Structure 1
Amino acid sequence: MNKETVSAITKYPLRLEPYVKEVVWGGRWLANKLGRKGAERANLGESWEAYSNSIIINGDFCGEKLAELFDTYGASLFGAAAMSYPKFPLLVKFIDAHQNLSVQVHPDDAMAQRLENYPFGKTEFWYVIEAKEGAEICYSLNDISASREELAEAIRRDDLLRFVQRTPVKKGDVVFLPAGTVHALTEGIIVYELQQDCDITYRLYDWGRVGREMHVEKGVQAIDLTSRNFKVSHTEGVRHEGYWATELVDCDFFTATLWQIEKQAQLKAAPRSFTLLTVLGGEGEIRSPTDEFMPQPLNKGDTLLIPTDMDYELDTKDSSYLLEIIGSWLETGHR
């Protein structure tokens, strides 16, 4: 398919509509803190902020999906790095673990293609937004040696936790989860999640809940037996004029940085990738000298896609409060 070229007039920050999922383990944080819509008193667990079927809600592309723009405009909107993927490659979420999530594992690319005929596996990372005192996550296998056959038997007997490491987390922690890592969010934790655009999950243990399938055979195949004793990180930022920048993760599939803006940050989208911006806190505006739709307001919970190689500026509404934004993209070398 020939890709069309995006003109200077239509190349602007794309504001994305969240997609909210009701789940058994969710709570009310997404509704109370981010204004996400759902049935009254419903358990809202996930708000998908950016993914292939995200709908644009502003400007010339209003009403279209990212998948449609990806197919039509290609590198001119999403960057050359994105064109090595058959579809839009990233997914951004907010997750409210009001109760324990299942202990689970995700396949890597090769296994997702072989077992599910899907192009991506799922490597992801969490940035902890809130965590109750004493909160822990399930995070990889522990030091007890076990074969795949022994793990499969433990799953069938509801005894997998014997082989799983528990790790404390607090606000501001970074948790990197390569595909194949056994893991679970537990009660009282809110996270920002960045991942490959894949929703394949193999459930291994579910805290006594009845009626939900355990994926024993595929799950045991997907587990990376070498991924043991991972550590949670809590990184420090670098001061720039008007803002702090903290690299949260840099892996083969994505890079993410936290910007804490005191006044203003003048930035540029990655030269070979789109950039996703998600507002974690504060209020402000985003501006660009090349776009007629600016300035746009920025509020907690907003997510926008910045086209490749586009200059933009982030300003706080009130300099007494930090504007906190996570920016993510496909490649390193962002400036």
Structure 2
Amino acid sequence: MARGSKGHGRRSEYVGDGLSPLQREALKLDPVPVSKPWGGKKLLPYLLPGAESVLPLGELWLVSTVGDHSRHSRINSGVHDGLLLSDLIKASPEKILGPSWGGEAAESEFPLLFKFLDANTELSVQVHPDDAFSKYRGLGSTGKEESWIILDANPEAFVRVGFSANWDMKKLSEAAAKGECVEEALNKVPVKRGDILHIPPRTVHSIGAGIVLAEIQQPSDVTFRIHDGNNVGLDGNPRELHLEMALQLDPPEQDSTDVIPVNPESQGGWQLRIAASPYQVFELKGPWEGQLDIPEDRSSILCILSGSAESHGERLYEGSVRLLLPGEGEFHLKSASESWAILCIPS
């Protein structure tokens, strides 16, 4: 995925010259805070100084053109400073989406949504549609396939993914409608920092309390809530369930998800961790230096999950995200010994 040799945040600072003619253009985007009833305070350090924060803070949308314009990424660098990413795509689709995505038929939508999530309390039991169902129901052009990278987790933290034995959507929906306990309905999967999970659409799931994760997904915010326990919305009232819609989604053939083991630092270099139909996710742990082998015909998302790195005179810290635009230029990266980074590329 990336070529180079093994070598030697929350903010970024320039330590050298600016853009070179041979350098791949990279956009810096402002994080968008999203309040959620299950959120907490762990994402506050990633907000820009002076940025509005809404507690409880459940999500930071880091690369987004999804939903209302208030949740669209705003460019915070270069000649497009202050412009919404969606507006730039609309004005010049090939610049952001590349020739394989751009053109007259291109929408002002980036093909991925990337965000951080803080589950201070347990989320609802829920399911997301696939592409076919979303199009059929007029819910959007894509469903929601997603993957989680666990950034932090309490010692006993877990997620629930897929139906356990003797459970199905009909039984779960009936129990939820009656307000019965559904803890045994889903497979309980312990998680820890560094774990990666892939959640195909139509897979029933829930994120447990005490977990902070990075999520890469298709550009959809459609969720069918099946069971919400004792949770209430930000207005203090019970949230709506979507049992009729959930019942229309058959689970995928493999209705379970195994944790992708932690990538040992001793392997070195970039490793392909997820190869899903909408995207690929590569992971880097430890020191590395080289040119990223990123496609020329589409954008890629680079995120420093931990530690620091340097690129073309710019220092990148934990939480730094760059949208690497299409083109023939190179993007050089030098990561520190404690670095942890991911690269997400639309398929």
When normalised by structure 1's length, the TM-score is 0.84
Contact 1:176 1:249 in 2 (8 A): yes
**Pairing partner for 2:86 from 67, 73, 77:** 67
Give the equivalent residue in structure 1 for 2:40. 27
Give the superposition deviation at 1:134. Answer: 1.8
Q: How do 1:129-278 and structure 2 match up within 5 A?
A: 129-146=151-168, 148-159=169-180, 160-210=182-232, 211-224=238-251, 226-236=253-263, 244-278=269-303
Range moving further from structure 2, 123-132 or 8-17:
8-17
Given residue 173 of structure 2, which amino acid in structure 1 is its aligned partner? A
**Does the CA contact (< 8 Å) of 1:142 and 1:228 recur in 2?**
no
Q: Aligned pair count? A: 309
Deviation readout 1:36-56 (Å, 9 max, x if unpaired): 65548x211100000112111
Q: Does 1:298 align with 2:316?
A: yes
Report the AA paired with residue 189 of structure 2.
T
Distance verdict in 2 for CA 1:306–1:265, change over 3 Å: same
- Residue 291 of structure 1 corresponds to none
CA distance in 1, matches of 2:345, 2:170: 38
The question of whether the paired residues in 2 share the 8 Å contact of 1:141 and 1:227 is answered with no
> Paired residue for 2:68?
none
Q: 1-side partners of 2:167 and 2:309: how far apart?
A: 51
Q: State whether residues 11 and 77 of structure 1, in contact with CA within 8 Å, keep that contact through their aligned partners in structure 2.
A: no
Q: 1:46 to 1:215 in 2, by over 3 A?
A: same
Q: Tell me, yes or no, if the aligned pair for 2:265 and 2:286 is still in contact at 8 Å.
A: no
Say which SS state the counterpart of residue 276 (structure 1) adopts: strand
Report the Cα distance in structure 2 between the residues aligned to 1:201 and 1:328, rounded to whole angstroms. Answer: 23
- Cα pair 2:269 2:288 within 8 Å, conserved: no
Q: For 1:181 and 1:306, how far apart are their aligned partners in 2? A: 31
**Contact 2:200–2:252 (CA<8 Å) still a contact in 1?**
no
Q: CA RMSD in A?
A: 2.4
Q: Is the 8 A contact 1:81 1:330 kept in 2?
A: no
2:175 is paired with a residue of what secondary structure?
helix
1:100 match = 122
Letter matched to residue 34 of structure 2: K
What CA deviation, in whole Å up to 9, does each residue of 1:73-93 have, x standing for no partner? 223442234348643110001
1:143 touches 1:228 (CA, 8 Å); kept in 2?
Answer: no
Cα distance in structure 2, aligned partners of 1:13 and 1:21 = 24
**CA offset digits 1:206-239 (Å, max 9, x no partner):** 1222411111111222351644232111153697
- In 1, distance between residues paired with 2:92 and 2:265? 35
State the distance in 2 between where 1:64 and 1:247 align.
33
Distance 1:223 1:180 in 2: 7
> Residues 207 and 151 from structure 1, CA distance in 2 versus in 1: closer, same or farther, beyond 3 angstroms?
closer
**Unpaired stretches in structure 2, ≥5 consecutive residues:** 1-20, 66-71, 233-237
For residues 94-145 of structure 1, give each alpha carbon's deviation from its aligned partner in whole angstroms, at most 9, with x where no partner exists.
Answer: 1111110111111111111222431111000001111111211011111214
% identity of equivalent residues: 26
> Among 27, 36, 44, which residue is 1:14 paired with?
27
Distance 2:123 2:99 in 1: 36
In structure 2, what is the equivalent of residue 323 of structure 1? 339
Cα distance in 2 between the residues matched to 1:325 and 1:178: 23
SS state of the match for residue 230, structure 1? Answer: coil
Partner amino acid, structure 2, of 1:152: S
Structure 1 distance, partners of 2:106, 2:174, is 37
Residue pair 2:93, 2:106 contacting (<8 A) in 1 also: no
Distance in structure 2 (CA, Å) of the matches to 1:304 and 1:119: 25
